[in-house]
Amino acid sequence: MFVETVPGPPPSVTDFSRHALLFDLTGRAEIAVTGRDRAEFLHGLVTNEVKKLRPGEGCAAALLTPRGKMLADVTLLCAPEELIVDADPELARTLDGHLRKYVFFQQVALENRTGITGVLHIEGRGAGPILAKLVGQDGPSEPHASVVSAIGRAVRESRGGFEGYDLRVRRAEVASVRSAFVDAGALPAEPDVLEAARIEAGIPRWGADLTEDVLPDEAGLPARGYVSYTKGCYIGQETVARIKTYGHVNRRLVGLLLPAGDVPPRGAEIRKGILKVGAVTSAVRSERLDRAVALAYVHRDHVAPGTSLTVLCPGGPADAVVVSFPLAG
């Protein structure tokens, strides 16, 4: 007997190790800094080396308060006639206002291009060849480096721990470029897929793991290449240098593994015995690991991989273990 079957929805695409996944990140901040003094201007505001950047190079950096706490995390892209500041969408307005406060007598001009820029991100197996089909050349090999084509600026960015690239285009062309990516073999995926990969890779994100209460060392940003210890003065430098030379931070960002059914909310309390030792900043259920995974700030006495902790989840206390980045199954 013939039985007609009705196809269900296609399975969700989540496997970066098998596919190149495509994400629309339009809304990310883009501020162009031009003028003769652009490098000197940014060099005095951020934690990383700016004046040595050459066209096509880039770096990650942070802007800090005078007391050394985070104001923003950014990526700087060097072009022949400008420096481009890239940041999370939540920072677009505040970052623009913050930078303008420090323009005094320098020959510097700022243009907030957030509203006219689109960002498509491709990451996973085969991302490089697919990008090359679109832009007509290989993507850059160094983190935060970029190449320019008729379509837009391609930037090497790993946002989930795999080989990845941003393609920055005119916002009006996002739909057509997205279609071109799909035609070339990219598979569209939902934002929560990239968020899960980010957490598994231990990559902090502004508004979750990075806030104005965080010191760069607490989030491990120096180890991620955000800080130059030889560049000279910038706002907040004294605190960063003092921590490196004399001290330590009292908490650190770590990864946690929990049972699959226990995904803690942001801010969930972490205990060691009866002592409160930290709080969760990001968490998600990982399909790859069949576990809940989280990022959390934990007191420095309890950050060693293998340390057993308890997280207060909505359904009750859950056992958790500290793990090294990237989180492995």
Q: Does the domain formed by 250-329 have CATH 2.40.30.110?
A: yes
Tell me the pLDDT of the chain (329 aa) as tens digits. 333 433 433 445 688 999 999 999 999 999 999 999 999 999 999 999 999 999 999 999 999 999 999 999 999 999 999 999 999 999 998 999 999 999 988 899 999 999 999 999 999 999 999 999 999 999 999 999 999 999 999 999 999 999 999 999 999 999 999 999 999 999 999 999 999 999 999 999 999 999 999 999 999 999 999 999 999 899 999 999 999 998 889 999 999 999 988 999 999 999 999 999 999 999 999 888 899 999 999 999 999 999 999 999 999 999 999 998 877 55
Q: Where along the chain do its domains lie?
A: 20-195, 250-329
- 20-195, superfamily in CATH? Probable tRNA modification gtpase trme; domain 1 (3.30.1360.120)
pTM of the predicted model as reported, rounded to 2 decimal places: 0.92
Contact 102, 87 (CB under 8 A): no
